[in-house]
Amino acid sequence: AQTVTQSQPEMSVQEAETVTLSCTYDTSESDYYLFWYKQPPSRQMILVIRQEAYKQQNATENRFSVNFQKAAKSFSLKISDSQLGDAAMYFCASSDTGRRALTFGSGTRLQVQP
């Protein structure tokens, strides 16, 4: 069974600075995908970034990038030039061949200070 762990319940960052959210996962599969989702106060779930396990290169989407360490089963999210609109809950999730749906971590609440 997959497990996803987010050990930081809350994080805070100053506007325009950089913050890194941590995530570790466990799976017995070799074929899997990893995701970061953002949930603002509107409660809508928004896909931020995805990573394919067989790709060595870390995914990047504008100000968002990941540090994917496959051997360590670590998948952290870096947000550069933080903006007030980045304030939200962030969830790490995985999907493998054993279960064709998402397994989520418990989330990290990110506050952005002006």
Partner 1 sequence: NAGVTQTPKFQVLKTGQSMTLQCAQDMNHEYMSWYRQDPGMGLRLIHYSVGAGITDQGEVPNGYNVSRSTTEDFPLRLLSAAPSQTSVYFCASSPSRGYGYTFGSGTRLTVV
Binding residues for partner 1, rule: CB under 8 A, are 4, 6, 9, 33, 35, 43-45, 47, 50, 52, 91, 95-97, 99-107
The residue (of 106 and 113) whose beta carbon lies closer to partner 1 is 106
The residue (of 7 and 14) whose beta carbon lies closer to partner 1 is 7
47: its two tokens: 């896909």
Residue 89 beta carbon to partner 1: minimum distance, rounded to whole angstroms:
9
The residue (of 75 and 91) whose beta carbon lies closer to partner 1 is 91
The residue (of 14 and 42) whose beta carbon lies closer to partner 1 is 42
Local structure of 84: helix, strand or coil: helix
Whole-angstrom Cα distance, residue 88 to residue 40? 4
Asked if residue 90 lies in contact with residue 35, where contact means CB atoms within 8 angstroms, the answer is: no
